[in-house]
A and B are shown apart, each in its own frame.
Chain A
Amino acid sequence: MMDPHANGSINGFLTRERFEALTTFTLDLEGLGTVRFRKIGRAEYEALWPLLPAAADEWPGIPAAPDPQSPTLEADLTARDEARKARRLAEATWLRAQSDDEQVHWRTRINDVAFRVIAACTKGPGFTVAEARQLGDAAEILFSAILTKSGLIEGTPAASPPAAVAVEAPAGAV
């Protein structure tokens, strides 16, 4: 007779233990040991970004990622890169027009996204935003690992959300 609890599930239904095992990832950080973390959803990730300034309405948009099978893939990718550059240039122009304090505030808020992601997703040890900031360069490695596993870095496909909740990466996103 088959064990109904085989493979950590009951008749194929998830158990908490199985769920933990499937949704927890690990990363070895040199000198710091192993960190356990979970993925982050696109909507949750986007919520951690500061709201764009009103001026951003005028910045160039970035086309959606082209279909890898598209016959015009190379041209589409080039156009996307150009659009990205144009948007970054517009953002930089806007930022230069702000006061020194506002520039620092904006840059800090952007940098904090990584620390907020780490604080939201680390499970052992669970870092606070302040602790994540203390990780120094390791924070960048951990942040990238979380985004990669979550499919939020280009080239790592994640499940598609329903269209109405699909979001485009905010300006400055990785």
Chain B
Amino acid sequence: MLSEFSVPILLGEERTVASLLVQDVEACVFWQGYPDTHAEAATPRDLRQAEAAWLQHLLARVTVTPMLTLDWVREMADDSWPPTQAYLEAVGFFPRPVLAPTEATALREIPGLPVRTARSARQRAAEFAAFRGCVPPVHVQRLLRLLAPAVGIPASQLWLMPASEFFFNYHVQLSDEQKTIAPLPEVSHA
């Protein structure tokens, strides 16, 4: 079972703090919809917007409580970035001091949480099934080709690995030279 943890979000005039329960999803779910940034026709603005759309979809996908839809995320406007940032940090997307996945994503108990407010196991299974067979975006294919021999498992298994383990292996197993060939996208705060 993948671990779940909460990330804070500030909303409204009073900047009220609320929590989103998010999930350490599989790499194939994480990377779904990541824009291939090498299309010659695309303008920088198109690429930025495609990347923003990917991040918004990602937040909607990984949040299990409440059951976020893309409409919610759009209504959050730029308030959706801090929890997205927190999520990316927690799963080790950024090359920060590397923690083992179990340390990075501690399971958080939420006693009394009504099941109806969370994505059910069946919904998650259906979503996962839809994503696992997807062809990875070109940039992610490059990551998989480099990472698989370094970790010693087939790329198809990496594709199904929790995102936190995927990024842990990326930071630990790849050399600086390999990371130069296949860098992670620069979606960090300035």
**Once bound together, how far apart are the Cα atoms of A40 and B78, in whole Å?**
7
Using a CB-CB cutoff of 8 Å, which residues 65-115 of chain B contact chain A? 65-66, 72, 74-82, 84-85, 88, 110-114
Using a CB-CB cutoff of 8 Å, which residues 1-34 of chain A contact chain B? 4, 9-16, 18-19, 21-23, 25
Stretch of A91-99, A100-108, A156-164 at the chain-chain interface:
A156-164
Supposing A10-B117, A161-B52 touch, asked if A166 and B190 sit within 8 A by C-beta, the answer is yes
Judged by DSSP, the binding face of B is mixed
**Once bound together, how far apart are the Cα atoms of A9 and B112, in whole Å?**
12
Chain B residues lying within 8 Å of A10, measured Cβ to Cβ, are: 65, 112-114, 117
**Once bound together, how far apart are the Cα atoms of A150 and B45, in whole Å?**
20
> Number of contacts between A and B (CB, 8 Å)?
127
Chain B residues lying within 8 Å of A42, measured Cβ to Cβ, are: 77-78
Chain B residues lying within 8 Å of A47, measured Cβ to Cβ, are: 49
Using a CB-CB cutoff of 8 Å, which residues 28-67 of chain B contact chain A? 43, 45, 48-49, 51-53, 55, 65-66
Chain A: interface size category: 35 or more
Supposing A158-B77, A159-B79 touch, asked if A11 and B190 sit within 8 A by C-beta, the answer is no
Stretch of B13-21, B124-132, B151-159, B166-174 at the chain-chain interface:
B13-21
Can you list 5 pairs linking A and B with CB atoms under 8 Å apart? A10-B114, A14-B19, A22-B16, A41-B52, A51-B43
User: Which residues from chain B sit less than 8 Å from chain A, CB to CB?
Assistant: 6, 9-13, 16, 18-21, 43, 45, 48-49, 51-53, 55, 65-66, 72, 74-82, 84-85, 88, 110-114, 117, 185-190
